[in-house]
Amino acid sequence: MNKRESFWCNDLDGIVFDIQRYSIHDGPGIRTTIFLKGCPLRCKWCANPESQDLRPEIFLRKSKCDGCGKCVKTCPPDAIILNNGGIEIDRLRCDRCMKCVDICLTHALSRAGGRKTVQEVVEEVGKDELFYRNSGGGVTLSGGEPLFQPEFTLALLQGCKKRSLHTALDTCGFAKWEILDKILDYTDVVLYDIKHLDPMQHVSETGVSNELILENLERTVRKKKRIWIRVPVIPNSNDSEQHMSNLARFLSRMSIEKVSLLGYHEWGRSKYEALGRNYLTEGLSPLSEEALYPLKDILESFSLKVSIGY
């Protein structure tokens, strides 16, 4: 068995929560982005909270509920309560059997995440192969964190390469190097997130240290991969000129193709309510493009190519 076949498993499955076709923000050209569930970080500003838990979850959109009560009757652990014409879910009691989702006619209840095989995903992305060829696009694995499902991610990338598709990995870099190293062999472009350079601040805001993340970035650079750095710019966290100067100095000694500044937004707010969770950045105001221009200037003063937004 050669290197490209050694990990290949067409029947291997993983947990996917979305497949987004015709994406233009997750790498070069027109792409299909595969969003995998599971993430080792718990960023307070995360816009996709349904991506964090590896297991499938239930969204509850209360505005769609007509109070019919069918889900209450069908719930084996009695985790759903009918209350004032609507429902509430006891998330601790819920066993995520999804019977309530299957019976809900108004789609007030919906599924976030489900099992798919490598073959199913590769066949899906293959439908747009002509668009990839004509635009210089391909397939991007995102999340969550793709490295959280390493065998599935590796097999997906191998499957794409068997079809000669361009591949991109959107990662926070928090994984053992042995895992990332294997996956990079089948990756054409790496979209690498940098949240904060200060290790204590990084722990406070994401739940993990940045030491491994920064080490893996330097190792990835040494593999001579195309690297696009993504920086979520968060008010009162990493948006100071001092932090941006430190980041520019750190990145300028590496071979980085470009840096994207992504201003904080509230697009994921409704998802927290639908998952029965608290929104952790209440009170923060979204950042406008204008607020990012001075930070862009700092990075560019270190000869880095910078964009605002993707």
> What is the tens place of the pLDDT at every residue in 199-221?
999 999 999 999 999 999 999 99
| Cα–Cα distance, 168 to 176 (Å, whole number) | 19
Shared domain for 90 and 147, answered yes or no, is no
CATH code, 63: 3.30.70.20
pLDDT of residue 8: 53
Amino acid at 288: S
Share of the chain above pLDDT 70, in %: 97
Among left, alpha and beta (phi > 0; psi -120 to 50; other), residue 61 is beta
Among left, alpha and beta (phi > 0; psi -120 to 50; other), residue 87 is beta
Q: Is 92 exposed, middle or buried (0-12, 13-18, 19+ CB in 10 A)?
A: exposed
Structure confidence at residue 5 as a pLDDT band (50, 70, 90): very low
Write the pLDDT tens digit of every residue in 163-172: 999 999 999 9
| Cα–Cα distance, 26 to 18 (Å, whole number) | 14
Residue 259's domain comprises 13-53+114-308
| Cα–Cα distance, 72 to 69 (Å, whole number) | 5
Shared domain for 34 and 181, answered yes or no, is yes
- What does the mean pLDDT of the chain come to? 95
| Cα–Cα distance, 157 to 306 (Å, whole number) | 28
Q: At which residue do the structure tokens 């009162």 appear?
A: 236
Shared domain for 93 and 151, answered yes or no, is no
Shared domain for 147 and 42, answered yes or no, is yes
Structure confidence at residue 1 as a pLDDT band (50, 70, 90): very low
**Among the three residues 88, 111, 134, which one is the final residue of a domain in this structure?**
111
Shared domain for 98 and 235, answered yes or no, is no
CATH code, 151: 3.20.20.70
pLDDT of residue 306: 98
Altogether, the residues listed in the chain come to a count of 310
Buried-state track 252-291, b at ≥16 Cβ within 10 A, e below 16: eeeebeebbbbbbeeebeebbebbbeebebeebeebeeeb
What distance lies between CA 155 and its chain's CA centroid?
18
